[in-house]
Amino acid sequence: MMTGISNNRRVQYTVSQFKAALLQILATKSLDEVTVTEICRQADLNRGTFYLHFASPLALFEQIETDLLNEIQPYLSVKIDDMTKMLVPILKVITQHPQAATIILTNPDSTVLEKIVRPIQTQTQARYQAWYREADPKQLAYYYAFFVQGAEGMLTMWLKQGMKESPEQIAKVIENVVTKGAPH
């Protein structure tokens, strides 16, 4: 996006129109099938305006990802002694942007989820090391991969089912599975 004009109201409106248009289109087709013409038609704006702000549909998608990640980022530095306290604000951000979150977090090409979980990897693996009395880094990496994929699956299910449960409920489910595991 061009620098120096991002605070201009008209520019913000135009960019938001492009973002909304892309999200509407992504509800029915994949990113690699989306054209600039299609986005412009949906946004009721012209191609020149699009290229003034974005180089491609991918660049627009990446901006939407960055916007979502920027809202989530402040909550990632929280120490995860209480996982629910860390997860609830993140899940609340997601509920504030349901269309963008659903499309981004369920898109296999998106790296947002990886960027969300990467900051907590060291803390989580240290916790697993203590819980399971495991020193092998490879084993800890497997435990962490299992945790991430499980949390991702729960999040995806929650999004696809319309986020009927509160962020607090979903955070508690994730925390229970991570901290208590499956019953023996």
User: Distance between the two ends of the chain, CA-based, in angstroms?
Assistant: 53
Higher pLDDT: 16 or 5? It is 16
Judge contact between 63 and 88, C-beta under 8 A. no
What is the share, in percent, of the chain residues with pLDDT greater than 70? 91
- pLDDT level of residue 71 (50, 70, 90 thresholds): very high
Flag whether pLDDT at 124 surpasses 90. no
Domain count across the chain: 2
Residues in the chain: 184
Judge contact between 174 and 87, C-beta under 8 A. yes
Tokens of 95: 């509920």
pLDDT at 184: 42
Judge contact between 92 and 167, C-beta under 8 A. yes
Q: What sign does the CA torsion over 107, 148, 136, 119 have?
A: positive
CA angle 43, 48, 50 (to 5 degrees): 45
pLDDT at 4: 53
- Do residue 116 and residue 166 come from a single domain? yes
Q: Is 20 part of a structural domain of the chain?
A: yes
Those residues with Cβ within 8 angstroms of residue 55's Cβ, 6 or more apart along the chain or in another chain: none
- Do residue 37 and residue 104 come from a single domain? no
Alpha helices, H only, 82-136? 83-96, 98-105, 112-117, 121-132
| 3-class secondary structure, 6 | coil
Q: Is 92 part of a structural domain of the chain?
A: yes
Flag whether pLDDT at 46 surpasses 90. yes
Flag whether pLDDT at 117 surpasses 90. no
Q: Is 119 part of a structural domain of the chain?
A: yes
Q: Is 3 part of a structural domain of the chain?
A: no
Task: Give the mean model confidence (pLDDT) for residues 86-100.
Answer: 92
Flag whether pLDDT at 128 surpasses 80. no
Task: Give the mean model confidence (pLDDT) for residues 23-39.
Answer: 95
Can you give the CATH number for the domain in which 17 is found? 1.10.10.60
Flag whether pLDDT at 5 surpasses 70. no
Residue 30 to residue 52: CA distance in whole angstroms: 23
Where in the sequence is the domain holding 156, given as residue range(s)?
A: 66-180
Task: Give the mean model confidence (pLDDT) for residues 74-99.
Answer: 84
**Distance (Å) of CA 13 to CA 9, 16, 20, 76:** 6, 5, 10, 29
Greatest mean pLDDT range, 17-21, 87-91, 104-108, 172-176: 17-21
- Do residue 77 and residue 34 come from a single domain? no
Higher pLDDT: 160 or 19? It is 19
Q: What is the largest CA-CA distance in the chain?
A: 61
Judge contact between 143 and 132, C-beta under 8 A. yes
Residue 154 to residue 119: CA distance in whole angstroms: 19
pLDDT at 65: 94
| 3-class secondary structure, 82 | coil
**How remote is the C-alpha of 154 from its chain's centroid?**
13
Instruction: Please state, rounded to an integer, the average pLDDT across all residues of the chain.
Output: 86
